[in-house]
Chain A
């Protein structure tokens, strides 16, 4: 896929860690879920809602309205009229013992469904328990890392202070050296003048001695 064409996502967004030597899809998905869970719930819900709205806008409207139909209208009216008599009709067409058996069967079925749902609930609870322990572990790891980071930060602070003092001392020393240098320069100039005077005197003395 062409690199130039891609819209790059920031490093912060793509922080999923993948062990390419030993790919674990479940682990990748857990990381993605954790990443999403760290966002505000409102944002996620809003995104879901927006996807539905955006989609509705792209669907072309139907060409015709759905047909009503006289038959369905009549049926609706008839059902409405019969509603008050529904229990009576039911009682007449369904013998009580059969209804009882049906109810027992329904209850049994409902019980089985409940058992299944309870089992699922347990599974979910276990999963949440596992997740919580993982979160605790991660929390502990983060704390340990933070402690180390703070220690490093303290050391860095002390080191910076020392560097600051060293710089100050260096500046003072450099100033002293500059003064010393200027002083030596003046002395050397005086010595040069003395030497010149002595040279001239030497020449004059020589002239007088040998003349």
Chain B
């Protein structure tokens, strides 16, 4: 059986989001099926400019076919269209124009799917909101499986996606909340769908002490790992953390890991480390008291799963239904909606070692029963076998 994974970007350099999710799944599923990846030549997720040169390459044993982006995204124009589509009455054409501008505009990829549909048994599309998924699923609905990686933002309510969500043969969701949201928006509960998510790659070892010494981190700290920008709730996190320090003077620092799009406030207790290697990331996470996840929009949050894998409790933003749901299902973290709750929950977590320990153990158990690779692979195989059964019964 041959399966194509279709995703907006793909490469070893891309270390987060749906793209990394797709790469890990493709690499793990290659032991069961013949796997190929169909993607664009883009690397930058804002402009989608062509970056990769080769049309075909092999990454970790997976064949990757790359297609050029016909026109890079103009962020200003995209912003204007998005503003209009989100806040004004508009036509379907406007939404399609938004989709084209959202990109990555790679008609050659869609043409390839159309011409080679017979070569593949299934096309697994990642991220519903991009050009490749919308037009790709329209091209081969009978063979498509969608991994929506949807967040609860205004995009999911666009009319073009209501129709799109009724086309694929199956859905692979990241969380119960995502499944409920999509089924509510599109009324498509009759379509096969399973909450799967993604496994986590944990390095065999990491030098925690060495990394902390090198980075000059000597005291207790909380950690945030991910892109530092407003969409991830980092500005709110800074506000809340600085207020927490001012009110309680608790001897704890906040370590920030990841590339930044925000100006980080000048404060001795905010330690910005920038982009770090995987080993360093795990070392820093291992040394932390807990992980803070302030994001408003998440469809899964891989770093939260990593924290639980390392037996670290999580303090998450309750405005993100997925994070709140994950905390409740795992019993591995607390959550906050406003500053008062942030202060109370953080104080409780810092003060109560036993609670932290139990939450950590719960998180680890949740990770082991839902997000190890054996479980994830089994779930993907189950979806494929169900679709095969349906095909035989027809």
Contacts and interface: CB of A to CB of B under 8 A. Distances in A.
Interface in A12-67: 13-14, 16, 18, 20, 23-26, 28-29, 32-33, 35-36, 39, 44, 47-48, 50-52, 54-55, 58-60
Given A1-B350, A51-B240, A106-B89, A25 B340 contact: no
A55 B239 contact: yes
A15 to B, nearest CB: 11
A9 B238 CA distance: 23
Interface in B334-375: 334-335, 338-341, 344-345, 347-348, 350-355, 358-359, 362
A28 B235 contact: no
Interface in B231-275: 235, 238-240, 242-243, 246, 248-251, 263, 265-267
Contacts of B239: 51-52, 54-55
Contacts of A183: none
B386 interface: no
Given A7-B250, A20-B358, A116-B184, A14 B334 contact: no
A202 interface: no
B77 interface: no
Interface stretch (B66-74, B100-108, B325-333): B325-333
Q: Please classify how large the interface on chain A is, using the bins under 10, 10 to 19, 20 to 34, 35 or more.
A: 35 or more
Contact of A28 (B266, B334, B340): B334
Contact of A47 (B157, B243, B334): B243
B159 interface: yes
Given A5-B251, A25-B333, A109-B159, A55 B351 contact: no
B310 interface: no
B91 interface: yes
A14 B339 contact: no
Contacts of A18: 352, 355
Contact of A59 (B265, B331, B333, B338): B265
Interface residues of B, number: 46
B354 to A, nearest CB: 6
Given A14-B351, A52-B239, A55-B242, A24 B267 contact: no
A120 to B, nearest CB: 10
A23 B340 contact: no
Contacts of A20: 354-355, 358
Contact of A48 (B249, B251, B339, B348): B339
Contact of B348 (A32, A58, A105, A106): A32
A119 to B, nearest CB: 8
Contacts of A5: 220, 251
Given A44-B338, A52-B239, A55-B235, A25 B327 contact: yes
Interface of A: 1, 5-7, 9, 13-14, 16, 18, 20, 23-26, 28-29, 32-33, 35-36, 39, 44, 47-48, 50-52, 54-55, 58-60, 102, 105-106, 109, 113, 116
